Copies of this chain bind each other. A is one copy, B any other.
Amino acid sequence: MNSSETASPVTVIGLGLMGRALAGAFLKAGHPTTVWNRTPAKADPLVAEGARRAPTVDDALTAAPLTVLCLTDYQAVRELLDASDADLGRTTLLNLTSGSSAQAREAARRAERRGARYLDGAIMAIPSTIGTADALVLHSGPRPDFDAHEATLGALGTVTHLGEDHGLASLYDAAGLTMMWSVLNAWLQGTALLRTAGVDAAAFAPFARQMAAGVAEWLPGHAEQIDSGSFPAEVSALETDARAMEHLIEESEAAGINAELPRLIRAMAERAIAAGHGGEQYPVLIEEFAKPGP
């Protein structure tokens, strides 16, 4: 706590597994840390480590220039704010509760009507990594409010500001989770397939890791095609890819495993080909992803 004279005070409201990790990281970095939880006993271990227990919600919402909310859902955030009529004009609320971009934008409007500055955030990390560079914490909302607290937030991990739109953190979160589960599902599909030939998961995993990491390297180049709206078949044309997609389905069906993922891969490509893009490169599928499915 020897840096507490210079480190800015902070409050954490909501002491679930993640909230406790957040408060612990602030304490460890020397920030005078106030904590509050609906069930007060959850604060006990943090108080033992030096946190101050807020006696009331009003106190918790006004004790520090930065108030971090980490609750179950946005409904809980709304109820918390409605339970207090404290003047929020001297704090910035940072809402790290998981939710949708629409909920984030609405919460921002409500907070601003209460006179608070408001940032919305998303934590791309598990509790055990909070406080290390591996924990990525995304923020969106007014840049000056982020800048004012960036030094404090740095105690949590790698922090970034995505833009002024309060919905951006939730959108990046959703996009990141789509990436995460897609990599895992593709790996599970491949693992299921190879197990039918007696290959164990450990033998396939390094190959899968190499493929995923290798393809990830292509994304910035592919992004240029999307942003320019031009998709020349520099490496492969979609109609060539589509022939190989048939093999994915055949292999899965022949092996008696689930074939929904390969079928979706083919279906998206076939729609782009039907729309006249067979001679273009894979990123042209953005046009199919950008509209509702059939």
A residues sitting closer than 8 Å to B (CB atoms) are 98-102, 124, 126, 136, 162-163, 165, 167-168, 170-195, 197-202, 204-213, 215-220, 222-224, 226-227, 235-236, 241, 244-245, 247-248, 250-254, 256-262, 264-265, 267-268, 282-283, 285-286, 288-293
- A188: chain B residues at CB < 8 Å are 283, 285-286, 289
Complex A-B: 8 CB contacts under 8 Å: A100-B247, A172-B194, A172-B207, A175-B204, A176-B207, A179-B211, A187-B222, A201-B222
Q: Are A293 and B187 in contact (CB under 8 A)?
A: no
Q: A191-B226, A201-B227, A254-B100 are in contact. Are A215 and B285 (CB under 8 A)?
A: no
Q: Are A290 and B195 in contact (CB under 8 A)?
A: yes
Q: Are B247 and A98 in contact (CB under 8 A)?
A: yes
- A126: chain B residues at CB < 8 Å are 235-236
- A205: chain B residues at CB < 8 Å are 219-220, 222-223
Give A160 Cβ to nearest chain B Cβ, in Å: 9
Q: Are B250 and A100 in contact (CB under 8 A)?
A: yes
Q: Are A179 and B186 in contact (CB under 8 A)?
A: yes
Q: Are B248 and A177 in contact (CB under 8 A)?
A: yes
User: How far, in angstroms, from A189 to B218 measured CA to CA in the complex?
Assistant: 16
- A124: chain B residues at CB < 8 Å are 211
* Interchain CB contact (< 8 A) of A261 among B99, B180, B182, B216: B182
The 10 closest A-B pairs by CB, nearest first: A175-B190, A182-B186, A201-B223, A212-B216, A201-B226, A205-B223, A192-B289, A179-B211, A205-B219, A192-B290
Q: Are A168 and B199 in contact (CB under 8 A)?
A: yes
Query: Could you say which of A136, A171, A267, A293 has the most chain B C-beta atoms within 10 Å of its C-beta?
Result: A171
Query: Could you say which of A199, A205, A211, A247 has the most chain B C-beta atoms within 10 Å of its C-beta?
Result: A211
Q: Are A215 and B212 in contact (CB under 8 A)?
A: yes
Give A277 Cβ to nearest chain B Cβ, in Å: 13
User: How far, in angstroms, from A286 to B258 measured CA to CA in the complex?
Assistant: 10
User: How far, in angstroms, from A222 to B209 measured CA to CA in the complex?
Assistant: 11
Q: Are A247 and B291 in contact (CB under 8 A)?
A: no
Q: Are A219 and B209 in contact (CB under 8 A)?
A: yes
Chain B residue nearest to A168 in the complex (CB): B197
Q: Are A174 and B212 in contact (CB under 8 A)?
A: no
- A172: chain B residues at CB < 8 Å are 194, 204, 207
* Interchain CB contact (< 8 A) of A197 among B165, B211, B252: B165
- A179: chain B residues at CB < 8 Å are 183, 186-187, 190, 208, 211-212, 215
User: How far, in angstroms, from A130 to B288 measured CA to CA in the complex?
Assistant: 32
Chain B residue nearest to A202 in the complex (CB): B223
User: How far, in angstroms, from A291 to B223 measured CA to CA in the complex?
Assistant: 35
